[in-house]
Amino acid sequence: MPALAVERWAKSSDLPPDAPVVLTVEGTHGPIIHTVTKAAATRGARAGARLTDARALDPGLVAVPADPEGDQVLLQRLAKWAQRWSPLVEMDGPDGLRLDISGVAHLFGGEQALAQDVIDRFAAIDLTARVAIAPTAAAAWAFSRFGGNELAPLHVSALRLDPDTVRTLERLGLKTIGALAALPRLALARRFRGAEDVVDALDRVFGRKPEPLTALADDPPPRSSLRLEEPAIHPEAAPQALERLIPKLVVELEERRLGARRLSLHGFRVDGSVATASVATAIASREPKHLQRLLADKAAALDPGFGFDAFALVADWTESLGAAQESLVEEPSGTRNLARLIDRLTVKLGPRAVRKPQPFESHLPERASRWRSALEHAEAIALPDTSRPQRLLDRPEAIDVIYATPEGMPRRFVWRRAVHDIARVEGPERIAPEWWRERSTVRLRDYYRVEDQAGRRYWIFREGLVGDGRGGAPEWYLHGLFA
Amino acid sequence: MSRVAKGLSIVAGGQRRAANRPPDGPNASLFAGRESWAPAKAGTRAGWTLPRPPSPTLSELFAATPRDGGWAGFLLPQVDRSKPVLWVQERMAILESGRIYPPGLGIDAIHVEARDARAALWAMEEGVRCSALSAVIGELWGDPAALDFTATRRLAVASERSGVPCWLVRLGATTNLSGARMRWRIASAQSLLNSLDSRAPGLPTWDAELFRARGFAPGRWSIAREADRFHLVAGAGGRAVGEEQRLTA
């Protein structure tokens, strides 16, 4: 954006657009021109000149103080906004943005269309944008400032060298990039060293040296930290630090209207290592007591090693949480109460031990109900299915079955070394394997609900049929217990 | 007629046993001064109701054998389905008699797999203090050292304070000292006649023995659940066709 400062100023001023205006910054010997409008440029004013010199050429110039900090803030906002085209955006100098558009251009109909889209969008907010797309960032910088579509004829200042180096090169008669690139590298490297590294600039522009983008950081997560004057090795240090850190973090969360879903306490040891304790919550929370209770045990278990000299409490994962008054009395509402219970259980027993059922579209009993962490959201449970048992063994257990005929009803079975005489039986309920995800040798199952002489009810199945070509004689398994 | 007489005699026998029971020291003091635990009118067959505590408390339930899952059918109808249930299973209980299977239960459950009895009891106690739950059900295997009188007493007090009923299910356990207000022993019994298919299992019945309760006469009943309440059925030997049809109608 070659005219960012001027255009930003023009938006907020009431001077006519063709007024000869220069934006000035304070220099050592009086005001220096920062940027100029078109009208001022035609009257001889140039960026970098002293205001008095420009006034000598044309006394009619209007001088307005520039605001580089404000421009920087605008550029930062524009960089955020430019993430509409690509997630990798970097601010480049005081007036440029760099976008990594690898694999992005086709979404906007090709590189040409993307460039046009960028120009149009910036024009819509009254900003002039010069866009160049090139395989290397340095080349894109050169094309966007100097135009053209080939590097060789461009002036050496397109290499983004400092002015002294450019002047030296000009004196040597090396005016274009092409002329410079034709010279032997060794000679160039010997002549230009240190800060004025011409070889390095050439390598970057021709892509022989990578120039990665540093993407814009997102909003930093809410964080509070505490420095200790001396390293603490007492195990109580971490819980005590937590006590001080949590109120600070909660204040920040409140200001940003966030609630923590995951909290990490980092203890920085003197030997340069970091110990971390993390907890997750089922719903966003910024209640100091609750958060403290969750983290206290884990904080006490942090190994101080040679001693902690600093602590930081970071809310890694946050969700927006409006200001809400819980209630007048100290009795929290139902869902929140439940979420806190889940948090406490999960912190102590681990996320794999505290789970909620999740129905799943499958006929196979063990797949029809999945378990997921209670911290996550799960679908509601349907009404009970009376054909399904109340308890299911994690692995079906092999049983010995006596039957009248191989395809007939079972008569008696032995499960865990005890004989069960079957008094009543209902079935079979045939459940075929899911051919779209299982091997072709998986056998079907015939489920029977059986009741033994004592009235205990089980869910047993025969795996396979005689002569189905998928193995030998069918085997029997006990899979569930009915209430 | 003989069946009715038999049922009565069973109940009467239970009362007689209760009268002979010596008062157990720590438990007796627990219930002193609780007037609300009025004696139930168990004994008449027509107006029989399942003894239930007047306010939420800790009940203990012994499965007759760990390979019998019938107790769940006795317990589940007594749980309020409007709120979630915390179901705590000790690892050993899962290995021995299976993990709960939500499609068959049809309740909104939060399942906790505890690695030992201590963790299970801790989770139960946390759950009992949370009024957003409708019940806490905990399954423990055997007689762990952590499950002593103090632990059960703590659960009972917490449950009564917060109004969340708590069920302690004991699998493969002996009836040791406990602070539970009601102690049941549940075994499956032969199911009722299935009117659609005489060879298939019908409505489940249970042989339920209330062997320790405050305010109720202990007793042993053969019960089935139908039309949202528990009924008495006669024992397996003395069952008549008419009776079964009346109950299965």
Neighbours of B57 (CB within 10 A): 21
pLDDT in tens, A61-89: 888 888 888 888 888 888 887 877 877 88
**Domain map (residue ranges) of chain B:** 50-248
Classified as helix, coil or strand, A93 is coil
Nearest CA in chain B to A388: B104
Query: What is the structure's pLDDT at A326?
Result: 53
CB-CB neighbors (< 8 A) of A345 in chain B: 112, 123, 126-127
What's the average model confidence in pLDDT over A269-274? 85
pLDDT band, very low/low/confident/very high, at A240 (cuts 50, 70, 90): very high
Query: Is any Cβ of chain A less than 8 angstroms from the Cβ of B237?
Result: no
Inter-chain touch B126–A356, beta carbons under 8 Å: no
Cβ pair A447, A439 in contact under 8 A: no
CB-CB neighbors (< 8 A) of B109 in chain A: 356-357, 381
Nearest CA in chain B to A393: B98
Domains of chain A: 4-66 (3.40.1170.60), 135-218 (1.10.150), 223-324 (3.30.1490.100), 391-481 (no CATH)
Mean predicted lDDT score pLDDT of chain B: 79
pLDDT band, very low/low/confident/very high, at B209 (cuts 50, 70, 90): very high
The encoded tokens of residue A48 equal 């970098």
Query: Distance from A459 to chain B by nearest Cα, in Å?
Result: 11
Q: At residue B39, does pLDDT exceed 50?
A: no
Query: How many CB pairs below 8 Å do chains A and B form together?
Result: 184
**B34 or A81: whose pLDDT is higher?**
A81
pLDDT band, very low/low/confident/very high, at A171 (cuts 50, 70, 90): confident
Beta strand A21-27 with A457-463: parallel, antiparallel or unpaired? Answer: unpaired
Inter-chain touch A423–B190, beta carbons under 8 Å: yes
pLDDT in tens, A431-474: 999 989 988 889 999 999 999 999 999 999 999 888 888 888 89
Query: What is the structure's pLDDT at B18?
Result: 40
The number of angstroms, rounded, from the C-alpha of A93 to the middle of its chain's C-alpha atoms is 26
Inter-chain touch B98–A357, beta carbons under 8 Å: no
Separation of alpha carbons A7 and A444, rounded Å: 74
Lowest mean pLDDT among A20-24, A251-255, A467-471, B186-190: A20-24
CB-CB neighbors (< 8 A) of B94 in chain A: 394
Query: Is any Cβ of chain A less than 8 angstroms from the Cβ of B132?
Result: yes
For the structural domain made of B50-248, what CATH number should be given? Answer: 3.40.50.300
pLDDT in tens, A301-351: 998 888 898 899 999 888 888 766 555 554 456 778 888 899 889 888 988
Lowest mean pLDDT among A200-204, A432-436, B209-213: A200-204
The angle that helices A237-255 and A288-300 make with each other, rounded to 10 degrees, is: 150
Please list, in sequence order, all residues whose beta carbon lies within 8 angstroms of the beta carbon of residue B65, skipping any fewer than 6 positions away. B172, B187
CB-CB neighbors (< 8 A) of A342 in chain B: 110
Lowest mean pLDDT among A46-50, A265-269, A387-391, B141-145: A46-50
Query: What is the structure's pLDDT at B19?
Result: 39
Residue in A335, A392, A455 closest to B190 by CB: A455
**A79 or B45: whose pLDDT is higher?**
A79
pLDDT in tens, A132-163: 888 888 888 888 888 777 887 888 878 878 87
Query: What is the structure's pLDDT at A328?
Result: 52
Candidates B65, B76, B95, B101: best to mutate against A (most CBs of A within 10 A) is B101
Query: What is the structure's pLDDT at A93?
Result: 78
Query: Is any Cβ of chain A less than 8 angstroms from the Cβ of B89?
Result: no
Comparing CA positions, the residue from B78, B42, B9, B10 lying closest to residue B213 is B42
Query: What is the structure's pLDDT at B116?
Result: 93
Q: How many helices (H) and strands (E) does chain A have?
A: 14, 17
Model's pTM, two decimal places? 0.64
In order of A85, A91, A107, A148, A451, the CA distances from A111 in angstroms are: 11, 21, 9, 16, 72
ipTM of the complex: 0.79
